[in-house]
A and B are shown apart, each in its own frame.
Chain A
Amino acid sequence: MNDLFDAIRESIYLYMNVDELTPRKRQRVIDTYSRHVYNMDAVTEVTSLEPEAEEE
């Protein structure tokens, strides 16, 4: 990683594609966020927008 821009790019990639990582890497990413209130599940809950069922 050359600079902070590259590091942020890598960090976002790991966060967004956590399911595609190897088990050890995945666990490392999940553990990093699990000790905070806004862990991965909490953020997923905030971002889940269920569209309104179309009325026919």
Chain B
Amino acid sequence: MIKREDFFTMPIPGENLTSNVSGWAWHKPPKYPNFDDAFEYFLEDVLADKDRINSAVVLSRNGFSALALVQNLMIQAVGAGKISPDMALLQAGPVYKILTSMLNALGEDYMSGYETKEELKAYAERWEKNELKQKKPFTLSKEQEAEMEKITEEATAEVPVGGLMGAKSDDTVQIPMDMSRGGLVQEPTEETK
């Protein structure tokens, strides 16, 4: 019910048409209009982000389904102006597939979001008793570990600074800093005169 005093602060009819809404991110062209660019954004900035994946795991352990996680991720990306709503529909499937495979690899017992009533009931009972199934986490094979180490080394290696022009040399030039004499050309001393 509207309070009596609110009648004086209510928006006038048509006020929404006069306000400046061009500042909203979703009213501007999306940052990633290309499918592959948008997918790389989700892979590199979202799914590869340790903190964000940790948050996703915590949420999934607390009853958030993978579907809800992806839905929120997509809406957030649309709201931030990263992708368009149509692109969100295209991205949702692949991102969901990768997210669920990551959760599987971590051995998490999560809800997919498409459970039947019976499955939901069973999950709720497991969750209530704190008996969520802990699947065996995925372990990397020796070859994969070696490859990961190689990639990590390459990524963390220091970038060489300089090049030929940036190389340090031992030939240092002493520039006289005595301002009283002025200029770089040394004046003849009294002995040489």
Contact = CB atoms under 8 A, between A and B. Distances in A.
Interface of B, secondary structure class, is helix
A16 B97 CA distance: 7
- Select the residue from B35, B92, B96, B114 with max chain A CB neighbours within 10 A: B92
A8 B74 contact: yes
Given A49-B138, A51-B139, A8 B89 contact: yes
Q: Is the interface of A mostly helix, strand, loop or mixed?
A: helix
Given A4-B75, A46-B98, A49-B105, A11 B39 contact: no
A12 B61 CA distance: 21
Nearest to B113: A9
A5 B104 CA distance: 24
A39 to B, nearest CB: 9
B56 interface: no
A50 B140 CA distance: 9
Interface residues of B, number: 28
Given A9-B113, A15-B97, A52-B140, A32 B71 contact: no
B84 to A, nearest CB: 11
B36 interface: yes
Interface string A1-34: 0001101110111111000000000000000110
B36 A36 contact: yes
B81 interface: no
B138 A51 contact: yes
B111 interface: no
Contact of A8 (B39, B71, B94, B105): B71
Interface string B36-64: 10010000000000000000000000000
User: Which of A8, A13, A14, A49 has the most B CB atoms < 10 Å from its CB?
Assistant: A8
25 contacts: A4-B78, A5-B71, A5-B75, A8-B74, A11-B90, A11-B92, A12-B67, A12-B70, A14-B93, A15-B92, A15-B93, A15-B96, A15-B97, A16-B96, A16-B97, A32-B90, A33-B90, A33-B94, A36-B35, A37-B36, A43-B97, A47-B97, A47-B98, A49-B105, A52-B139
Interface of A: 4-5, 7-9, 11-16, 32-33, 36-38, 43-44, 46-47, 49-52
